């Protein structure tokens, strides 16, 4: 029981990742594959941010401002900021790949007049 309580966050994110993964390999429409890729990347970002949590800690903004450090800053009071920083970069990369992938889909539609994977593969043979 303790095993389930300590690790159930990883299992939820793994279920979300597998939903996205099934959409990438199981669907035939190109736009649906792209939506699956987006779900996969979002689940990955949530997974990394969940490893940053600490019991009883607050958000990583030092509360009394700069210039007066009367209170000592303990690392156990604040949530680990490093995964948050890395996931900001990951979100920007997610948006960039989504934009370029949609541009490529528009080009494919102009050329082949269809968006189904098997029809495109048949047209290129």
Partner 1 sequence: MKFLAFIIVIITGALLIYATVDMPDWADPYSPASTHVSPRYIEKTVEETATPNIVTSVLADYRGYDTLGEATVIFTAAVCCILLLRRTRK
Partner 2 sequence: MIAQFEDVIIQTLCRLLIPFIQLFALYVIAHGHHSPGGGFQGGCILGASFILLCVAYDMEEAKRRMSEKLNVIFCCLGVIIFGGIGVVCLILGANYLDYGILHKLLPVNIPEARSLGILGIEIGVGFTVMAAMISIFLNLASSGEHEETLR
Contacts with partner 1 by CB under 8 A lie at: 6-11, 14-15, 17-18, 21-22, 25-26, 50-55, 57, 60-67, 69, 73-76, 78, 80-85, 88-89, 92-93, 95-97, 99-100, 103-104, 106-107
Are 60 and 77 in contact, with CB atoms under 8 Å apart?
Answer: no
**Cα angle 23-30-44, degrees, rounded to a multiple of 5:** 40
What does the buried/exposed string (b/e) look like for 80-119 if buried means 16 or more CB atoms within 10 Å of the residue's CB? eeebeeebeeeeeebeeeeeeeeeeeeeeeeeeeeeeeee
Residue 58 touches which of partner 1, partner 2, none (Cβ within 5-8 Å per kind): none
The 30-69 site mask, x for binding partner 2 (CB under 8 A), equals -----------------------------x-x---xx---
The 90-109 site mask, x for binding partner 2 (CB under 8 A), equals -xx------x--xx--x---
């Amino acid at each position: 029981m303790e095993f389930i309580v300590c690790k159930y966050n990883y299992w939820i994110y793994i279920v979300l990742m597998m939903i996205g993964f099934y959409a990438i390999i199981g669907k035939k429409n190109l736009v649906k594959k792209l939506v699956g890729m987006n779900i996969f990347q979002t689940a990955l970002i949530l997974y990394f941010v969940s490893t940053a949590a600490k019991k009883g800690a607050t958000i990583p903004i030092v509360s009394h401002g700069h210039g007066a450090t009367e209170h000592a800053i303990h690392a156990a009071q604040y949530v680990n900021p490093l995964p948050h920083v890395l996931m900001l970069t990951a979100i920007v990369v997610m948006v960039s790949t989504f934009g370029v992938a949609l541009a490529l889909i528009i080009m494919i539609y102009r050329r082949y007049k269809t968006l189904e994977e098997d029809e495109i593969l048949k047209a290129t043979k």
